[in-house]
Amino acid sequence: MRKTPIDRQKSGLAGEFFVAAELLKRNYQVSVTFGNAKAIDLFVHNETIDKTFIVQVKSLKYKNCFPIKIENMRDEHIYIFVVVLHIKLSQKGGFYSN
C-alpha cells in the first residue's frame, strides 16, 4: 500500500513531537515549526552555552532506510532519525542522531 501525503505528514509530526519531548525532558528550550513545506523542524536552545541549534527530524513509520539525499544535508543542521512504531501503543519509537 502506498503512503499518502497525510500519512507521511502524521509520521513526520509524530517524530518531531517525540524528539521535542525528549529534548524538553533534558532541559533544552524547544520550538516546533509548523507548515507543509517547512525548511526547519525544530529550534533548540541550550541555555548553558547560550546557543540555538537547527534540528531536522526525519521520521519513518516502519524500520527501513531514511530517504534523505546527502547533497540536501547541511553541516550547520543537526539531524535526528526517528522510527515511529504504530504497531502497538505500548511500543516505544527509537531515535538516532548525528
13-37 per-position pLDDT tens digit: 889 999 999 999 999 999 999 876 6
Share of the chain above pLDDT 70, in %: 78
Pull the grid cell for residue 70: 546527502
Strand partners, 32: 42
C-alpha 13/C-alpha 34 separation (Å) is: 9
Q: Taking the model in full, what pTM does it have?
A: 0.76
Question: What does the radius of gyration of the chain's CA atoms come to, in whole angstroms?
Answer: 14
Residue in the block written with cell 548553558: 48
C-alpha 44/C-alpha 77 separation (Å) is: 11
The strand pair at 77-83 and 51-60 is best described as parallel
Over residues 64-97, the pLDDT tens digits come to 777 787 888 888 999 998 888 765 555 565 555 5
CATH number of the domain to which 53 belongs: 3.40.1350
Domain assignment of residue 24, given as a range: 5-97
Number of domains in the chain: 1
